[in-house]
Structure 1
Amino acid sequence: MGYMFDLHVHTNYSPDSNMSIRALVKSALKRGLSGIAITDHETVKGGLAVRDYCTSHNIPLQVIVGQEKKTNSGEILALFVEKEITARDIIKAIGEVRAQNGLLVLPHPLRNNPKILSYLQEFDFIEGFNSRTLHNANLKALELAKRHGKKVLAGSDAHFPREVGKNVVIFTTIDDIKNQLLEGDYTLKFTKRSWIDIICAACSSAYIKGGSLYLTKQVLKKLLKKCISL
């Protein structure tokens, strides 16, 4: 089977997620993952905290520290970084990633700012399979990667425990994951999602954070049923 990694995961260090470190790790192990990349919005603190947690508890889960950064031209995904990417300007943000020898991923390109496509040459990978993105949009992302000769990655973009491991990258060895990525020495496993799957997954927990209300899956189903009956 190989070693499965989910390379796009959020924790409660992101404003739109309430997934605790403990819940994340439990979910990752339950799904047989060997590693995860923590890519919280605007911070690396989540990744550092998850890595410290796994180390202190002797948990056999390799943690890649990353960050999803919003720039003036769209969102970028940085992997293998230890310091926060702070620049708003996309060129400066890319420079901060490169200064740390980090890898650059263009996440969910069909759900990103169109301006980001002007900087495709700067990215190491395109996220071709995002489990919160419709399958047709993922197929277009694959076409984009093929046209520009970019390697493709898969990630869950998990914000809740039930989403962890939906899309994974599979390696033949647990050693030197970064080099295996650069060499393209991996395979992908992904799920096809309908718009109902995506909405339900995004609303699988109810909580208020930062003034925003997140509906439960049960409430959402009732709303959808009511809309369909209209």
Structure 2
Amino acid sequence: MLKCDLHVHTNYSRDGESSVEACLKRAEERGLDAIAITDHDTTEGALYAIKCETPVLVIPGIEISTADGHLIALGITEKIPADLDFAESVKRAHAAGALCIIPHPYHKWRHGAALKVKTAIAMVDAVESFNSRYITGAANRKAARKAAQSGKPCVAGSDAHNARYVGYGVTLIDAPPEVPAILEAIRDGRCSIHGRMTPLRTYTRQSMRGAKRRISRRIHR
């Protein structure tokens, strides 16, 4: 079984705090076999990570800011445009060969797409039912329940925005250490999840920074 963190941000994300190298080093220290680099609306971090010398397998990906909430596409290195509706984003990602995951689907303050698009879970290949950045576990439990009702595999991700928290969400995957095999195993449901929560003080600090950035952007438009 491979230990994989399927939701990691680097400083290629606008709110990422750590370098690609720091994230890969932390993954190695935590004994992870693979991590997915899923920076916001860019694959540049993933492309850079693939070139780094590391024993950790890099799964290229992107977290897309759709018009309805966030979507993770794994296994691609091309950028999917932001601000398209959720269904169109899934369609384009699938056409590019991606595995589509809906992250934090029921989190009101973090772009949970299932809150706006009632059929969102039906459209994707897997559901992130453990995200380490939830303040409470209620939204994680709801995601797991809805995934089961829809017959969708569950995955976990740290959603780390700092290398310190890489590995806080782990998906155990029954596959050889190859990206296509890992994605196929997820589609088949040959995976299980576990993890621990990001400390509340860290989540709060990062959220406040994000709010300040959004306010600053509005002021300078």
TM bin (shorter chain): 0.7 to 0.9
Match of 2:67 among 63, 67, 72: 72
The answer for the alignment partner of 1:106 in structure 2 is 102
1:179 maps onto 2:175 in alignment:
no
Measure how far apart 1:210 and its partner are: 11
Q: Is 1:153 matched up with 2:148?
A: no
8 A Cα contact 2:153 2:188, kept in partner: no
Q: How much does 1:63 deviate?
A: 0.6
Deviations 1:7-34, CA, capped at 9 Å, x for gaps: 0000001011121012111111100011
Change (3 A) 1:87 1:157: closer
Per-residue displacement from partner, 1:136-160 (whole Å, max 9, x unpaired)? Answer: 2211111111122211110000000
In structure 1, what is the Cα distance between the partners aligned to 2:205 and 2:83?
A: 29
Unaligned runs of 5+ in 1: 214-230
Which whole-Å CA distance do the structure 2 matches of 1:62 and 1:49 have between them? 13
Deviation at 1:110, TM superposition (A): 1.4
Deviation at 1:211, TM superposition (A): 6.9
- Counterpart of 1:137 in structure 2 is 139
Describe the SS at the equivalent of 1:170: strand
- Could you list the per-position Cα deviations for residues 170-190 of structure 1 after superposition, in whole angstroms to 9, with x for gaps in the alignment? 124324211111111122222
Q: Distance in 2 between matches of 1:22 and 1:87?
A: 26
Q: Which residue in 2 is equivalent to 1:3?
A: 2
Pick the aligned partner of 1:85 from 70, 74, 80: 80
3-state DSSP class of the match of 2:106? Answer: helix
**RMSD in angstroms over aligned alpha carbons?**
2.3
Q: Which runs of 5+ in 2 are unaligned?
A: 215-221
TM-fit CA distance, 1:120: 2.3
**Aligned residue type for 1:162:** R
SS for the counterpart of 2:21 is helix
Note if contact 1:163-1:201 (Cα within 8 Å) is conserved in structure 2.
Answer: no
Report the AA paired with residue 52 of structure 1: K
Partner of 2:24: 25
SS in 2 for 1:110: coil
- Equivalent pair of 1:127/1:155 in contact (CA under 8 Å): yes
d(CA) in 2 for partners of 1:117 and 1:41? 23
Identity level (%)? 33
Q: How many residues align?
A: 203
Deviation per CA, 1:166-216: give whole Å up to 9, x if none.
01111243242111111111222222x38xx23325638x9x899749xxx
Match of 1:63 among 55, 58, 62: 58
1:27 aligned partner, one-letter code: R
Please tell me whether the aligned partners of residues 70 and 103 of structure 2 are also in contact (alpha carbons under 8 angstroms): yes
Moved more, 124-133 or 174-183: 174-183
Larger radius of gyration: 1
- Partner in structure 2 of residue 42 of structure 1: 41
In 2, Cα distance between the equivalents of 1:177 and 1:68?
18
Q: Is 2:189 the counterpart of 1:188?
A: no
